[in-house]
Amino acid sequence: MSLAPNTVISSAIFQAELYTLVAFGFGVDVINPGSLGIFGYVGNGTVDASDFEAGVFLSSVDVSSSRDNDILNFDVTSFVNERVSNCDAFAGFGIRALNLGGLALKNTYAPRHPTQADS
């Protein structure tokens, strides 16, 4: 991110599309986990194995009544503002089931560009 440290982001939403609620393997049957959480961490611009469990909890969404192809919105505004304020170059995000179960997300959505409120 190349924004001035005094920039304030008014809204930053990470979107993901639900591919299917059918999960296979690891002893998990077709169980909807009920909710997904998004975790944020200071990224380095590359995907590393350590990213899988990295981060602090930011927010969650209820997927208990979701269907295939639903768009999930995670509010990451405060985390993005903190990264900008600290002059961090990258923000990383991980989405995890918060309960036993599984589902598949499409990887075609990227974070929506945040709106700059103040510079």
pLDDT, tens digit, 9 for 90 and up, residues 82-105: 988 888 888 889 888 888 777 778
Is the pLDDT confidence value at 78 over 90?
Answer: yes
pLDDT cut 70: percent of the chain above it: 80
> Does residue 65 lie in a domain region?
yes
In a domain? residue 7: no
Residue 48 half-sphere exposure toward CB, CA atoms < 13 A: 12
For the chain, the domain total comes to: 1
Per-residue confidence at 119, pLDDT binned at 50, 70, 90? Answer: very low
What is the band of 1 on the pLDDT scale with cuts at 50, 70, 90? low
- Do the domain assignments include residue 42? yes
In a domain, 89, yes or no: yes
Is 117 within a domain? no
98 within a domain of the structure (yes/no): yes
Instruction: Report d(CA 104, CA 68) in Å as an integer.
Output: 9
Structure-model confidence comparison of residues 50 and 77, the more confident one: 77
> DSSP assignment of 49-64, as one string?
GGGGG-SEEEEEEE-T
- Domain range for 64 is 12-110
The verdict on residue 84 lying in a domain is yes
Alpha carbon distance 28, 104 (integer Å): 13
- Alpha carbon dihedral 104, 52, 29, 70, in 10-degree steps, equals -20
